[in-house]
A and B are shown apart, each in its own frame.
Chain A
Amino acid sequence: MNVEAPTAVNAPLKHPLAPASPEAAVAIEDLAFVVNDRRGRRTEIISGVNLRLEDREFVSIVGPSGCGKSTLLNFISGLLPVQSGRVSLFGEAPGGSTSVGYMFQQHGLLPWRTIIENVELGLELAGVAKPVRQEKAHVLLAELGLGGFEEHYPNELSGGMRQRASLARTLIADPAIILMDEPFGALDAQTKVLMQELFSRYWNDHRKTVLFVTHDIAEAIALSDRVVVMSARPGRITAEYRVDLERPRDFNHLRADQRFNALHEEIWSEIRREATISMRGRT
Chain B
Amino acid sequence: MRDDRITIRTTQIVILVAVLALWELVGRLAPNLWTSSPTKIAAAFWQSLLRLEILYHTGVTLGESLAGLFAGAVIGIALGLMLGVSRIIGAALEPFIVALNSLPRVALAPLIIMFVGIGFASKFLLSFSLVVVPMMINTYEGIRATEPILVNVLRVMRASRLQIFLKVLLPNCIPWIFSGLRVGISFAIVGAIVGELISSRAGIGYMIDTAAGSFDATGMLMPLVVLMLVSFVLDRAVLHTSRRLLRWREHAS
Whether both chains belong to one complex is answered with yes
Give A contacts to B, CB under 8 Å.
Answer: 77-79, 95, 100-102, 104, 106, 108, 110-113, 121-122, 125-126, 152-156, 169, 173
B158, B168, B248: the one contacting A153 at CB < 8 Å is B248
Residue contact A108 to B150, C-beta cutoff 8 Å: yes
Interface contact A112-B149, CB-CB below 8 Å: no
Cα-based distance from A122 to B156 in the complex (angstroms):
9
SS class, residues of chain B in contact with chain A: helix
A75 to chain B, nearest CB (A): 12
**Alpha-carbon separation in the docked complex, A182 to B181 (Å):** 40
A26 to B155 alpha-carbon distance, docked (Å): 19
Can you give 13 contacting A-B residue pairs, CB < 8 Å? Answer: A79-B156, A95-B158, A102-B153, A104-B153, A108-B149, A110-B167, A110-B168, A112-B174, A112-B248, A125-B163, A126-B157, A155-B252, A169-B153
- A112-B248, A169-B153 known, 11 other contacts, Cβ within 8 Å: A95-B158, A102-B152, A104-B152, A111-B248, A111-B249, A112-B171, A121-B154, A121-B157, A154-B248, A155-B251, A173-B157
The contact of B156 among A102, A112, A155, A156, by CB within 8 Å, is A102
Q: Contacting B157 at CB < 8 Å: which of A113, A125, A152, A153?
A: A125
**Looking across the interface, which residue of chain B has its beta carbon closest to that of A110?**
B150
The verdict on A125 contacting B152 (CB below 8 Å), with A111-B248, A112-B171, A156-B251 known, is no
Selected contact of A125 from candidates B147, B159, B174, B252, CB within 8 Å: B159
Q: State the CA gap A153–B245 with chains docked (Å).
A: 13
A-contacting residues of B (Cβ < 8 Å)?
147, 149-150, 152-159, 163, 167-168, 171, 174, 246-249, 251-252
Identify the closest chain A residue to B171 (Cβ): A112
Q: Is the CB of B150 within 8 A of A155?
A: no
The A-B contact count (CB < 8 A) is 56
Cβ–Cβ < 8 Å partners of B251 in chain A: 155-156
Q: A residues within 8 A CB of B252?
A: 152, 155-156
Min CB–CB distance B45 → chain A (angstroms): 43
Q: What is the interface of chain A mostly: helix, strand, loop, or mixed?
A: loop
Residues of chain A within 8 A (CB-CB) of B168 are 110
Q: Which residues of B contact A122 (CB under 8 A)?
A: 157
Cα–Cα distance between A145 and B138 once the two chains are bound (Å): 39
Give the CA-CA distance A175 to B78 in the complex, in Å: 37
Cα A113 to Cα B247 with chains together (Å): 10
Complex CA distance for A35 and B155, rounded to whole angstroms: 22
**A110-B251 Cα distance, complex, nearest whole Å:** 15
Nearest-CB residue, chain A, relative to B172: A112
Do residues B247 and A110 form an inter-chain contact, with CB atoms below 8 A? no
Give the CA-CA distance A156 to B253 in the complex, in Å.
Answer: 9
CB pair B171–A110 under 8 Å, yes or no, is yes
* Bound CA–CA A125/B174 (angstroms): 21
B242 to chain A, nearest CB (A): 13
**Closest B residue by C-beta to A104:** B149
Residues of B within 8 A of A125 (CB): 154, 157-159, 163, 167
Chain B residues lying within 8 Å of A102, measured Cβ to Cβ, are: 152-153, 156
Among B152, B163, B174, the one with the most A-chain Cβ atoms within 10 Å of its Cβ is B152
**In the complex, A173→B157 CA distance in Å?**
9
Q: Complex: how many Å from CA A95 to CA B157?
A: 10
Contacts of A112 in B (CB 8 A): 171, 174, 246, 248
A100 near B156 (CB under 8 angstroms)? yes
Q: Which of A108, A126, A156, A173 contacts B153 (CB 8 A)?
A: A108
Which one of B152, B157, B247 has the greatest number of beta carbons of chain A within 10 Å?
Answer: B157
